[in-house]
Every structure is written in C-alpha cells, then in structure tokens.
Amino acid sequence: MGDLYFVTGGARSGKSSFAERLAIGTGLEVFYLATMIPGDEELRDRVARHQAQRPAGWTTIEAPTEIAEALDRATGDACVLLDCLSLWVTNALLALDDEEPTMEAVNALEARLDLEVEALLTGAAARRGPVIAVTNEVGAGLVPAYALGRVYRDLLGRVNQRVSQAADRAWLLVSGRALELPPVE
C-alpha cells in the first residue's frame, strides 16, 4: 500500500515546495488536491503563480471541502499531493458563517472533521501510490485573542495530530529547511 507523508511548518516556511519535490521524486503521475478558495484578487494571483510553477503533467483537483472524495478521484498508483489541510479546516469553519460559533456548532464541526479525516486516512491507506499531506503548524504562536481564532487553532491542531500520527514519515519545515520528525512510538 502507499505511504502517507505529512509536511508541516509555519507560513512561508517552504512546505509546499518541499512537498512538490517529494511528489516529483516519486516519479509517478501526480494529482494535486487544492483546497484554496481564492476569494480576492491577491489570492487569485497567488493561485495562478502556484499553478504556473507546477509541472505541466500534474492534474489539479479543486477540493476545498471534500478531500476524501477528491482522493478517490486520483488513480490508484499516482502520487497525491494534498495542499493543504489548514485551508480545508478554514473552509469548514468559515462555512459556519459565524464569527463566534456556539460550542454546539463547534462540536458538530469537530465531529464532521473527524469523520472526514478518518475517510481520508482510510482512503490513503488503501491507495497504491503515496499521499503527501501539507498543513500549517499553528500551535507554536500566541493564543489567539478572539474566539474564532482559538477554535481554528484547536480544530487544526487535532486534525494535524491525527494525520501526523497515521503518517509513515513526517517533516517540519523551518525557514526552508526540512527536519524529519521521529516515528510515532
């Protein structure tokens, strides 16, 4: 079965570039699962630059919310690059359309994310080709001063832990340098 790789780090730490090099290094066909919803001109320009930098033969699947379903659309022996879990959690949280969601709404969202992560991990384990999951590490900063920021940090932290613990290999990117994390015991 295919391997699951986990790539994390801060903003602009080199995560995506590193993950793209991992994907290229497999020598396999690559499916790029993109979770960004480009809501303004700056983001549309950023997405266009990222797309232009990718190898021409890669297939992009837009997957802002249904990542496990998108994973199923990639051929079994291809490499799948999921970039990124952080934006996927953002999209799910913003879909609540509430700057101060109730605990009931947050708990329901957490349960939904748990199910989707389980489906993602099950799908990744069933594949012949590797899956590379990219995400931001948001737990190393200050405690957010507003409720939505704290909810986001907590949700993403739990998602990251589950995917990282299931991963065959994991890296932390710091200032463009990759530090391989030890296996989970």
**Cβ-based neighbours of 4, under 8 Å, separated by 6 or more:** 121, 124, 125, 130, 131, 133, 163, 166, 167, 168
50 is catalytic: yes
CA distances from 166 to 24, 86, 118, 160, 163 (A): 22, 17, 10, 10, 5
Catalytic one of 50, 158, 162, 169:
50
DSSP letters spanning 36-74: ----SHHHHHHHHHHHHHS-TTPEEEE-SS-HHHHHHTS
Catalytic residue set: 50
